[in-house]
Structure 1
Amino acid sequence: MTNAEKGAERGTRARVARLILEHGPINAAALGERLGLTPAGVRRHLDALLAEGMIEPRSVRPRGQRGRGRPAKLFVITDAGRSAFEHAYDGLAGSALRFLAARAGEQAVADFARSQVTGLVRRLAPAMREVPADQRVRVLAEALTADGYAASASEAKSGGEQLCQHHCPVAHVAAEFPQLCEAETEAFGELLGTPVQRLATIAHGDGVCTTHVSPRALSAQRAGPSPGATISPSQTAIETSKETGR
């Protein structure tokens, strides 16, 4: 195999791993369909990723099937596989935040976290003004995916919507400094213009960061902000611009 062929093989294997990270649990047939690979080609890459400890299989019996046939095999990313996608700056970022906390206190870390997500709010606020409210979660998910968070949007069974981040580049740092997750959640609420609640985080050991987005209709029925709720200038700007058509 030439170097070019080896490079192409590694590239395809990385795409398989990325799809499992973003869409797992997922089966081999779905992977082959998304990537245009033959069953044999998918199996070759899956076997290699399994041998490297990047992914692991899960057996799920199809709904309605009792005792007959083999359970369907799905694949999910492992902690080692997720770590392979992590940025190499976790150690430096953690040291910097520990230094900041020691010198200026925990509030300084919270202020820093908010300053980091301010850029996200400023960058996405114009796009949020241009789309209907019921499409904002999808637009946010696409923006987060572009930033490396492998995000997706879906309807929540309990009502409202669900924003999932299948990858977190700062998970190791956020495990030590939850202020990062808290500031990010606040930013989501500002951008979406409706209350949100973080249900799970990769930083706390969950497989996916999950945020529940309250239905806008339910939020609009309230006479005013709920106790303790705040409306930021960014959120006000989004809503005002939408109403005035600017």
Structure 2
Amino acid sequence: MRDNQDDVLTRPAATSEAAPDASGAARADALVPSDDASTRQRVLQSIMEQGPSTANELAERLDLTPAAIRRHLGHLVDGGELIGRDRRVYGARGRGRPAKEFELTEAGRESFHQAYDDLAIAALAQLTSIMGDDALNQLAETRITQVEKRYRELRADEPNGNPVDALAAALSEDGYVASTRPALAGEQLCQHHCPISQVAQHFPQLCEAETKLFSQLLGVHVQRLATIAHGDGVCTTHIPRSVLISADSLRKKA
């Protein structure tokens, strides 16, 4: 079903956020009311946790009116914290335009964490120049050992559970805000946040080590479809159906 008017963002009235000052000039940079700022942070938080979302989904999730959510989305898009794209349709496409969904930009993610990106990039560049690429590859693999440890603990606690869900939970504990969703011929593992996205732009070995670990833990070849480091809204990895079939078989035997 089309998300009606998702591509139309209502502008606030000029008197609400750009009232004229004593000289009669509109204050384009007027301070945003604290309740509006809080609501917009909630919008950003919801998109970070749930992934790209339509205006209607956000309005329902945050208990806001469609008009209110579109006003906040308009400000966040204008401020460079969100970007709107047509939602990708899997399978048969219905009539009408696809719904527009909103996802975080790099500027939007910066409000959630403060990372020493410049220092990390400089340190890794120095490491590579002295020790070579092998040293960086080893560091990348060592960095995600905590994810592997948490995954194995979760699988030990619930051996008949969905292994992809366990991997998403392990990643979330490490700050990646991960979730899963069904896809054609399998499932998608979605990481809605990346604490090291700026560093990974310069050193793709960090993403490659993650993908390699996913394959090792799940016992199948997985395919990385998108990464935040490359400018996508979500790090998305396709998990083939064979993992899910194997998990279902274990549950039936239990």
Q: Same fold (TM over 0.5)?
A: yes
1:120 matched residue in structure 2: 147
Report deviation, 1:8. 4.8
Report deviation, 1:94. 0.7
Aligned-residue Cα RMSD (Å) equals 3.3
- 2:206 is the alignment partner of 1:180: yes
User: Matched residues in 2 for 1:194 and 1:71: separation?
Assistant: 33
User: Matched residues in 2 for 1:217 and 1:48: separation?
Assistant: 41
User: Matched residues in 1 for 2:174 and 2:200: separation?
Assistant: 17
What is the percentage of aligned positions where both structures have the same residue?
Answer: 50
Report deviation, 1:87. 3.5
1:234 matched residue in structure 2: none
Report deviation, 1:163. 0.9
Report deviation, 1:16. 0.3
1:169 matched residue in structure 2: 195
Say which of 194, 217, 222 aligns to 1:196. Answer: 222
Q: Deviation above 6 Å: which 4+ runs of structure 1? A: 217-220
| Compared CA separation, residues 182 and 88, structure 1 to 2 (3 A) | same
When normalised by structure 1's length, the TM-score is 0.72
Report deviation, 1:209. 1.8
Name the amino acid aligned to 2:68.
G
2:20 matched residue in structure 1: none
- 2:173 is the alignment partner of 1:143: no
Given that residues 218 and 243 in structure 2 are in contact (C-alpha distance below 8 angstroms), is that contact kept between their aligned partners in structure 1?
no
Report deviation, 1:46. 1.8
Report deviation, 1:86. 5.2
Name the amino acid aligned to 1:48.
H
User: Matched residues in 2 for 1:154 and 1:217: separation?
Assistant: 12
Report deviation, 1:201. 2.1
| Count of residue pairs brought into register by the alignment | 214
Name the amino acid aligned to 2:164.
V
Q: 1:167-187 deviations in whole A, cap 9, x for unaligned?
A: 222122112212211221222
- 2:49 is the alignment partner of 1:28: no
Q: 1:102-158 deviations in whole A, cap 9, x for unaligned?
A: 22111111111111111221122111122345512122223323433232212330x
1:77 matched residue in structure 2: 104
Segment drifting more, 163-172 vs 82-91 = 82-91
2:95 matched residue in structure 1: 65
User: Matched residues in 2 for 1:155 and 1:73: separation?
Assistant: 20
Report deviation, 1:59. 5.6
